[in-house]
Amino acid sequence: MSARLRLLTLTSAVAALAVLTGCEWLTFSNEAQTTMVPMTDLGRSTDSVYWLVIYITAGIFVVVQGMLMYAMWRFKETSPDDIPEQVHGNLQMEIGWTLLPVIILVVISVPTVKGIWAAQPDTAEMEAAGEVVTIKVVGKQWWFAFQYPDYDDIVIGNEIHVPAGKQVHLELHTGDVLHSFWIPRLGGKRDLIPGKVNHIWFKADMPPEGQDSITLLGQCAELCGDSHALMRMQAVVHTPEDFDRWVNGYKASAAQSSDPLAAAGQQTFLSAGCIACHSTDPTNAQAYLAPNLSHFGSRTHLAADRLDNTPENLSAWLHNPQALKPGATMPNLNLNDQQVEALVAYLHSLK
C-alpha cells in the first residue's frame, strides 16, 4: 500500500469516527448525562455558545488543513536542487492573522457574556409574586438533600422534583466538603463550597407530549472522597399539575401497613438506632444527618441512585453499607437476618 493510500485510509477512518461520534446525541435516552440535549433555558444558552465555538473551530480546522495540503501539493519539491522563492514578510497577511483572531474572540465573547448575565436573573419581582420555586440543596458525603421552603419545608433525599415552565432557584450548600451539583440536561454545573452559598436559576421545558413527568440523571462533579463516583441523583421534571400532585402526595403521611412483618420492622427502626439519623416525616430535615425516608417504598433507587430499590438490594445495604459504598457514614448495625427482613418490609411499606 502506497503512503498516499495509507494516508487516505487513515483520514477516512478518522472522519467516519468523528461523524459517528457527533451523531451519537440522536440516540440519547433520558438517562444519558449529556449537555447536548438541553431541557432548560439555561442549558440552551450554554449549548448555543458550545455549538458556536464548535462551528468556528471546525471552520478554522478545515481552512488551515486545506491550505496546508494545498501548499504541500502545490509547492512540493521536484528536485533536490530547487530553491524556493524567498519571502521576507507580508504586511497584509500579518494584519489579517492579527485581526482575524480578535474578530473570532469578539464573536464568541458576546453570546458568552450574554449567557453569563442570563444565568443570574433578577427574580425579586417574581419571588415577591410567588412565581419562583426555591429549593435548598445540601451536599453531603455522598448524597444530596433537597428542601422546599415554599412547600412546608418538605425534604427528600437524592431526588429533586421541579415544575416545568416555572422559574426554579436552587440554593446550593454543602454540609461537609467541596461538592459540585450537576444535572447535565438542566444545565449549570455549580460548586458547593464550605462557608458559601451558590445559586442556579433555570426554567425547565415541559415533559414530552403525553407524559406527566420525565426523569433525568445527575451526580456530583467534584472529587469529594471515597464514594464520589457513587454520589448520584435523579431530577424529575413535572407538568405544573403533576408537580402539585407530587407535593400534596409527598406531604401526606405514608399509609400504615397492616403487615405484621412491617410493624416489626417499624419497631426495629426505632430500637436499632435508625431513627437517630433518618426521618420518615417529610418535613423533618433531621439536620441533614441522613436521607429522609418518607415514602421510601415509592422510590426507584436507593443509596443515592447506587442500586435499584429491590428487597434484595435493600437487604444487602442494611447488612453492610460500606461494602456497597466505601466510606459511607451509615454504620453497620450488625442486624440479624430477621431484623433486616422486617426493616425491608417496613421501608417498602412507606408509600
pLDDT tens, position by position, 25-76: 555 556 678 888 999 999 999 999 999 999 999 999 999 999 999 988 888 7
Q: For domain 260-349, give the fold.
A: Immunoglobulin-like (2.60.40)
How many Cβ atoms from other residues are within 10 Å of residue 220's Cβ? 26
Note whether 124-251 and 260-349 share their fold: yes
For the chain, domain boundaries: 124-251, 260-349
pLDDT tens, position by position, 146-197: 999 999 999 999 999 999 999 999 999 998 999 999 999 998 899 999 999 9
User: Which three-class secondary structure state does DSSP give residue 329?
Assistant: coil
Instruction: Determine how β-strand 167-174 pairs with β-strand 132-140.
Output: parallel
- Give me the tens of pLDDT residue by residue for the chain, a chain 351 residues long: 566 667 667 777 766 666 655 555 555 556 678 888 999 999 999 999 999 999 999 999 999 999 999 988 888 777 777 777 787 888 898 999 899 999 999 999 999 999 988 888 887 777 777 789 999 999 999 999 999 999 999 999 999 999 999 999 999 999 899 999 999 999 889 999 999 999 999 999 999 999 999 999 999 999 999 999 999 999 999 999 999 999 999 998 887 788 999 999 999 999 998 998 999 989 876 667 899 999 999 999 999 888 999 999 999 999 999 999 998 889 899 999 999 999 999 999 998
User: Which three-class secondary structure state does DSSP give residue 195?
Assistant: coil
| 8 A C-beta contact, residue 318 and residue 307 | no
Percent of the chain with pLDDT over 90: 67
For residue 289 the three cell numbers come to 444527618
The CATH classification number of 124-251 equals: 2.60.40.420
Which residue(s) pair with 132 in the sheet? 167
Give the long-range contacts of residues 111-117, CB within 8 A, separation 24 or more. 111/48, 111/49, 111/52, 112/49, 114/45, 115/45, 115/46, 115/48, 115/49
| 8 A C-beta contact, residue 171 and residue 25 | no
